[in-house]
A and B are shown apart, each in its own frame.
Chain A
């Protein structure tokens, strides 16, 4: 298992205003002194976390939210032959680990608490043990039930801003701001809205006029997963960490930010993805695009790729990666890529690679 899993993605978004600033213009950044379009890190993360795909992929692991775990445990204990009084007492001490108990009903927790399948299994195992040995749960055993550590979303992206009983957590996934590999213009769309009932007898003007800013670009995205920290955040459940990483990659490859999508329908899947795993210092390959990709036209085209920005970008990425390996020594132990331009590689293989690296 490697410490770091890095993903480099090239995604071509058609004209869109995916991520706006306070003036409703697409966000931009200067790189190598040249303006590029930008999609902010927070925009990417929000859209991946909000997606149906993410929720479904981890759906089985989102567990149950309930206040009534104590009642469930009490019923289980009684079903195994423990006396009602003792069952209520033990169930109450177990439920107390997950939140403050109601004063009028010691088996019910005041706030909704989250129980993942792993926790429910731990509670079930403890119930079996207590029933078999006919004794109250020990302090140590109760402490092990602990806080819900397996909220995958938080394990990957860190602390939430919500008053909740969940732990604050260090994010295991780092998502960089995405930027376009070519110099990008922010363009204006001048639009008018015609008034259907205006017959033009007095006034031939439009009902409303305005401008809409947009831009198009081939974006470079970089994601770094700290596989060790992810596993640690998930209570050492390797399978869960693997599944989480897989869901993240699937979302990164296919989910587009939602800004102005009804006007622009700018949905794209990544055209090129490279995944690498290793223990050495992770590095984004942004340096490949410090000098923006410049497409040659007409008579200047010597090589078939010269007028293809995607092919040039893939070449720049591979070349930079290889050069860095030559100068600094191999910066990753293993790499896998998929290339939608040439039709090489399969997403399934890439996902399997990432899963194994995070297990």
Chain B
């Protein structure tokens, strides 16, 4: 029997960053490890500069995500007008955004970006301990219920629209833990209007030395979201397997 912490992620918009260079800020279809652990770290009150504690979380927790609905992509055309750093060799110093905007000249350019979001997406994240260093699952559960910092789904403009409802589950396999959480989860009428297309898929990382998954891996692929340094925005590749929850091996 292993212990799992399962919690729900839902918001009208969510963004799970893919490799982004320049104008295009794409989003993947489901949260990766850096996203979920970033959320957990925010709830625990760990700041961005606390590298050690963030690496502890990365090393000592394993992640699986059940995708009840992967949603659709929304591309937001985002413009930001910013005055240059210097004009006529004099630096421009502004205390507020209003001052920045008033300091604009007619031919100053706006910074353009196309930011992708997922809409109508519903996920269940599942964590298990695989090493020492991270806080206990109970502590993480308490932090999710009473967070220290505002939690958000990828971008700050994506608030959660349903409580995480973190659940500590003892189960033989990862699949059993997820099925139990799905049964217990108070869906009510809120989630029913989130359109579902297809069966619930699960993406999990290799739990070697940890719990059994109880799932068939249909595909294994690499995603660059294992934290090396949050401060330097440095991540390394991580392998994820994809399977379908209803598939009983």
Residues of A that sit less than 8 Å from B by CB: 3-4, 21-22, 27, 29-33, 40-42, 46, 49-50, 54-55, 62-63, 65, 111-114, 148, 151-154, 157-158, 160-166, 170-171, 174-177, 179, 222, 224, 226, 229, 279-287, 290-291, 320, 323-324, 327-328, 331
Closest residue on chain A to residue B119 by CB atoms: A30
Does B12 make an interface contact (CB < 8 A)? yes
For A32, give its contact among B96, B120, B188 (CB under 8 Å). Answer: B120
Q: How far does the alpha carbon of A294 sit from the alpha carbon of B193 in the complex, in Å?
A: 14
Closest 6 CB pairs of A and B: A41-B157, A163-B85, A153-B96, A290-B193, A49-B97, A287-B190
Closest residue on chain A to residue B79 by CB atoms: A42
Please indicate the chain A residues that have their CB under 8 angstroms from the CB of B164 in the complex: 281
Does B92 make an interface contact (CB < 8 A)? yes
Q: How far does the alpha carbon of A327 sit from the alpha carbon of B76 in the complex, in Å?
A: 34
Please indicate the chain A residues that have their CB under 8 angstroms from the CB of B188 in the complex: 323, 327
Q: How far does the alpha carbon of A157 sit from the alpha carbon of B98 in the complex, in Å?
A: 12
Knowing A280-B146, A281-B164, A283-B162 touch, does A29 contact B119 (C-beta < 8 A)?
Answer: yes
Does B220 make an interface contact (CB < 8 A)? no
Q: How far is the CB of B66 from chain A (nearest CB, A)?
A: 19
Knowing A50-B98, A229-B149 touch, does A176 contact B93 (C-beta < 8 A)?
Answer: no
Contact B101–A290 (Cβ < 8 Å): no
For B159, give its contact among A157, A170, A174, A280 (CB under 8 Å). Answer: A174
Knowing A111-B93, A281-B144 touch, does A162 contact B83 (C-beta < 8 A)?
Answer: yes
Q: How far does the alpha carbon of A109 sit from the alpha carbon of B78 in the complex, in Å?
A: 36
Does B80 make an interface contact (CB < 8 A)? yes
For B95, give its contact among A27, A65, A163, A291 (CB under 8 Å). Answer: A65
Knowing A29-B12, A281-B146, A320-B190 touch, does A62 contact B96 (C-beta < 8 A)?
Answer: yes
Knowing A50-B101, A163-B85 touch, does A177 contact B157 (C-beta < 8 A)?
Answer: yes
Q: How far is the CB of B225 from chain A (nearest CB, A)?
A: 21
Find residues 47-83 in chain B having any chain A CB closer than 8 Å to their own CB.
Answer: 47-48, 72, 74, 76-78, 80, 82-83
Does B151 make an interface contact (CB < 8 A)? yes
Contact A174–B186 (Cβ < 8 Å): no
Please indicate the chain B residues that have their CB under 8 angstroms from the CB of A30 in the complex: 72, 74, 119-120
Contact A166–B95 (Cβ < 8 Å): yes
Please indicate the chain A residues that have their CB under 8 angstroms from the CB of B218 in the complex: none
Please name 17 further chain A to chain B contacts, defined as beta carbons within 8 Å, in addition to the given A55-B98, A323-B188, sorted by A numbering: A29-B12, A32-B194, A40-B76, A49-B97, A50-B101, A65-B95, A151-B95, A152-B96, A162-B82, A162-B92, A163-B92, A171-B156, A174-B157, A177-B157, A280-B145, A281-B160, A287-B10
Q: How far does the alpha carbon of A342 sit from the alpha carbon of B108 in the complex, in Å?
A: 47
Closest residue on chain A to residue B166 by CB atoms: A281
Contact A284–B97 (Cβ < 8 Å): no
Please indicate the chain A residues that have their CB under 8 angstroms from the CB of B94 in the complex: 160, 162, 164
Q: How far does the alpha carbon of A279 sit from the alpha carbon of B48 in the complex, in Å?
A: 22
Q: How far is the CB of B49 from chain A (nearest CB, A)?
A: 11
Q: How far is the CB of B207 from chain A (nearest CB, A)?
A: 27
Q: How far does the alpha carbon of A320 sit from the alpha carbon of B43 in the complex, in Å?
A: 24
Residues of B in contact (CB 8 Å), total: 56
Knowing A174-B150, A327-B186 touch, does A284 contact B160 (C-beta < 8 A)?
Answer: yes
Knowing A50-B97, A328-B165 touch, does A281 contact B151 (C-beta < 8 A)?
Answer: yes
Does B206 make an interface contact (CB < 8 A)? no
Contact A29–B13 (Cβ < 8 Å): yes
Contact A290–B190 (Cβ < 8 Å): yes
For B150, give its contact among A153, A224, A285, A323 (CB under 8 Å). Answer: A224
Contact B149–A176 (Cβ < 8 Å): no
Q: How far does the alpha carbon of A40 sit from the alpha carbon of B86 in the complex, in Å?
A: 29
For B12, give its contact among A31, A114, A160 (CB under 8 Å). Answer: A31
Q: How far is the CB of B61 from chain A (nearest CB, A)?
A: 19
- A selection of 12 A-B contacts at a CB cut-off of 8 Å is A3-B148, A29-B119, A30-B72, A31-B12, A158-B156, A163-B92, A171-B156, A175-B157, A224-B150, A291-B193, A323-B188, A331-B163
Knowing A27-B76, A163-B86, A175-B157 touch, does A153 contact B149 (C-beta < 8 A)?
Answer: no
Contact B93–A281 (Cβ < 8 Å): no
Contact A283–B78 (Cβ < 8 Å): no
Q: How far does the alpha carbon of A291 sit from the alpha carbon of B193 in the complex, in Å?
A: 6
Q: How far does the alpha carbon of A320 sit from the alpha carbon of B193 in the complex, in Å?
A: 14
Q: How far does the alpha carbon of A179 sit from the alpha carbon of B74 in the complex, in Å?
A: 13
Does B22 make an interface contact (CB < 8 A)? no
Q: How far does the alpha carbon of A290 sit from the alpha carbon of B189 in the complex, in Å?
A: 10
Contact A284–B161 (Cβ < 8 Å): yes
Knowing A162-B92, A290-B190 touch, does A31 contact B150 (C-beta < 8 A)?
Answer: no
Q: How far is the CB of A256 from chain B (nearest CB, A)?
A: 16
Q: How far does the alpha carbon of A111 sit from the alpha carbon of B95 in the complex, in Å?
A: 13
Please indicate the chain B residues that have their CB under 8 angstroms from the CB of A286 in the complex: 11-12, 161
Q: How far does the alpha carbon of A27 sit from the alpha carbon of B111 in the complex, in Å?
A: 18
